[in-house]
Structure 1
C-alpha cells in the first residue's frame, strides 16, 4: 500500500508542475509581458466619472453664456427699449426690402415670344433673335416701373428685390437659380397711370413694341385694383454691405 502511494506521488507531482508551467506561459503570452491587472488600466467607473465632470463643466459654461446674453439683451428698461426699437426697425426694413407680402392697386405687364400664324409660319425676314423676349426687354420694363415709383414688383412667382438679377439663357429666364419659360408676367404695385406713362416714355420699351408689331412678339398691360405680391423667400447672400444712412434709433 505504501509502495502504491509513493508511485502516485512520483508521477502526480511532475504532472501538476507541468500544468502550472503551461498556465504561466499562456498568461505571459496573453499579457504581452505586462501585468494584466495593472493599476493604470481604464475602468468603467472612471470613464463615467470623467464624462460627468465634462458635462458639468460644459453646463456651467452654457449657463455663464446665457447670463451674459441676458445682461446684454434684457434685464433692464434701457436694454429692453433698445431691443424693441431694433425689432421695430427690422420690421420696417423688411417691408421696404420686399421681404414681406404686399397688396394694392397696380399694373400687370406680360411679355411673350412670337407665335406662329394660322399657317404655322413666322415672318420670312425674321431671325431667331427677333422672335424671342430678351434680357434687355425685361430689364427695360422693370426699370420703367421702378422709375415710376413702384412700391413692389413681382416677376413670375418671385418678388424682385435689390439683389435680384433676371438673366435670359436662350428663350428661358433664370431668376434666383430657377428657370422659367415665356410668357413672362411682371406685376407691380403703385400708381397705375404713372407706371403706364413711364413704359410709354421708355425708349427700350418703345423699341420692343415695334418688334411686337413687326414680328408678333407678345405685350400687354392690364391694370388691377387689387394685386397681391409675395414676399422674397430665397436666402439673402450679401458679401459686402453697409448702412445707407442713420438707422433712426
Structure 2
C-alpha cells in the first residue's frame, strides 16, 4: 500500500509567509500607481493626444481658408468698381512697360560676349610676371561690358541665366561672380538683344574694355564676341517691387 509523500520540512512555513508578503507588495504597487495617476488614466493623463492636436490644427486651417476665400471674393467684387476706362488704361500701360521693365522674356538679334579667366600654357604655367589679380576677370571688366551694351541701346541684357535690370548688381568675390544672391564661376556669358553692330562699336570704344583686351593679349584672359540673329533673354523672376517712387507729373493715357 502506497502512502502520500510528506512535504519537505519547512515548506508549509515558507508558503504561509510568502502569500501575505506578495499581497502586501501588490497593494503597495496599486497605491503607488493611484498616487502617480491621480485617479485618472495613467497612459494619457492631462496631455492631449497627437491625433487631437492634428484635428484641432486642421480645423483652424479650414476655418482660416474659408475666411481668406470669403475676403478674396469680396475684394474682387469691389476692386475696379467705378474705375471703368481709367483702370483699363492703367492696365494697358502696365502691359506696355512690362517688357522694358524686364518682366517678360524677349528674343531677337543681338550679341553674346564671353569673358573668362586666364588659361595655363602648353606647359601648364602662367606668365612669370603675372600676379593672381592679372589672371582673373574683375568686377570692373564685367561692368565695363554691361555699360557699353546699355550705351549702345541694348533692349535686354542677360548675364549667365539671369536678366539684368535696374535692381541687378553683379559683384565679383575672388574669382566668382555674385548676382542676385547666386554665385557663378567663369566663363561669364553676357547676352544682349539689340543692334549687334552698334554694340560691337560701343565695346570697341569703351576704355575699360580696351584695357581688358590688353590683358587678354598679355596674360591669356578670355574674350569673345558672337553675333546671333535670334537670341533669347529670360524674364525677371518674381514680381517687381517698388522701393520708392517719385511723382512724374501728369501721365497721358
TM-score, normalised on structure 2? Answer: 0.68
1:200 offset after TM fit, Å? 0.2
1:160 and 1:245 map into 2 onto residues whose CA distance is: 28
1:147 offset after TM fit, Å? 0.3
Q: What does the per-residue CA deviation read over 1:188-224, in whole Å, with 9 as the maximum and x for residues that have no partner?
A: 0001110000000000000000000000000000000
Q: What does the per-residue CA deviation read over 1:94-124, in whole Å, with 9 as the maximum and x for residues that have no partner?
A: 1111110001000000000001111110000
1:71 offset after TM fit, Å? 4.9
2:247 and 2:96 map into 1 onto residues whose CA distance is: 15
Picking from 73, 78, 91, the partner of 2:80 is 73
Matches within 5 A, 1:30-179: 66=74, 70-71=77-78, 73-74=80-81, 76=82, 79-179=83-183
1:243 offset after TM fit, Å? 4.8
1:206 and 1:185 map into 2 onto residues whose CA distance is: 18
> Are 2:109 and 2:196, in contact at CA under 8 Å, matched by a contact in 1?
yes
SS of 1:173 mapped into structure 2? strand
Does residue 1:218 correspond to 2:218, yes or no? Answer: no
2:80 and 2:167 map into 1 onto residues whose CA distance is: 31
2:138 and 2:96 map into 1 onto residues whose CA distance is: 35
2:165 and 2:114 map into 1 onto residues whose CA distance is: 19
1:248 offset after TM fit, Å? 2.9
Instruction: Identify the residue that residue 40 of structure 1 maps to in structure 2.
Output: none
1:228 and 1:245 map into 2 onto residues whose CA distance is: 35
Unaligned runs of 5+ in 1: 1-54
2:249 and 2:130 map into 1 onto residues whose CA distance is: 50
Unaligned runs of 5+ in 2: 1-62
2:190 and 2:180 map into 1 onto residues whose CA distance is: 16
1:221 and 1:203 map into 2 onto residues whose CA distance is: 17
